[in-house]
Amino acid sequence: MDTKELLKKVRKIEIKTRRLSDHIFGGEYHSTFKGRGMTFSEVRQYQFGDEVRTIDWNVTARYNEPYVKVFEEERELTMMLLVDISASELFGTVNQFKKGIITEISATLAFSAMQNNDKVGLILFTDEVELFIPPKKGKSHVLRIIRELIEFKPNSKKTDLAGALKYLSNVMKKKAIVFVLSDFITEGYEQNLKITGNKHDVTGIRVFDHREESMPNLGMVQMQDAETGAIRLVNTQSKKVRMSYGASHREHVTYFEETFKKSGCGTLSCRVDESYVKKLLGYFKRRG
């Protein structure tokens, strides 16, 4: 993609997603996440009405009278976008690939954070971390993130979400708002998500195509696995084959939903032909 075409695509996404974040998501984002981040300020003597859970037991034992920890709201938050760029994201049967929707959602979230004067960072991953952009503020930084989402060419086609979550935990020492954007056609990330969820405010956004839910009856069809490159003939006339395909998809969805729930993380699923605007708004309002 030449520079002129890239800038044109970046501008197109900026106009669309900036408008959404300015008029719709800015306020919702603020009410959902502002005030959730609290930082330790000081200790003081216990006063009637203080919550018992704020008692600092070490200081209380030292002075033989109750002391409580005082926290203050963090005025500045950090958002991290953890984006799956494996080959399975280059799939779509309607008007757009999953990658396109993921890029738009990421840009909308980034502009919402920018509007609230928060930092935004990006991790692009396959079965390795392909790119890490540390969190910063400002429009030029957000536009750089969008450029990478559009143009970046990964080294690998496979997926390892567990490794990406581990990398995030290592590089992000302070609490962050984390959005994981993927089709989640992967498993084995439960332990790493639990660790990440204990430290950060995590939401998984699953983007999928309706053809991934069920297989149509098209006779004998040659199919290729986007991530492994393996090619095989599939008899889509077979009811058993179609049922197995649907069951496999449901297993991935169930694993995604249950694993995120057990880890105390939020979930959101959006089909490529649905409005991600309504999905995001509904999610923010439920959490706000």
E strand segments, the chain:
38-45, 67-73, 78-84, 119-125, 129-136, 177-182, 201-208, 220-224, 231-235, 266-271
Would you give the distance in Å from CA 29 to the centre of its chain?
14
Q: Where in the chain is the domain with CATH 3.40.50.410?
A: 3-33+75-287
User: At the fourth CATH level, which superfamily is domain 3-33+75-287?
Assistant: von Willebrand factor, type A domain (3.40.50.410)
3-state secondary structure of 156: coil
Question: Residue 242: its pLDDT value, please?
Answer: 81
Side chain identity, residue 66? P
Residue 126 buriedness (CB in 10 A; 0-12 / 13-18 / 19+): buried
3-state secondary structure of 275: coil
Cα–Cα dist 288/277, whole Å: 16
Question: Residue 1: its pLDDT value, please?
Answer: 65
Question: Residue 97: its pLDDT value, please?
Answer: 86
Average pLDDT by consecutive 10-residue portion of the chain (288 residues)? 78 85 75 65 83 87 88 74 90 76 95 90 97 96 96 94 97 94 95 96 94 78 73 79 82 96 96 91 85
Residue 256 buriedness (CB in 10 A; 0-12 / 13-18 / 19+): buried
Cα–Cα dist 132/153, whole Å: 14
Contact 113, 120 (CB under 8 A): yes
Question: Residue 54: its pLDDT value, please?
Answer: 84
- Residues in contact with 232: Cβ distance below 8 Å, sequence separation at least 6, in sequence order: 222, 223
Side chain identity, residue 80? M
Question: Residue 41: its pLDDT value, please?
Answer: 67
Cα–Cα dist 81/222, whole Å: 35
Tokens coding 180:
């994981």
Tokens coding 41:
């300020």
From the list 209, 96, 78, 99, the residue with the least C-alpha distance to 146 is 99
Distances (CA, A) of 286 to 29, 198, 263, 281, 282: 12, 21, 18, 9, 6
Cα–Cα dist 158/68, whole Å: 49
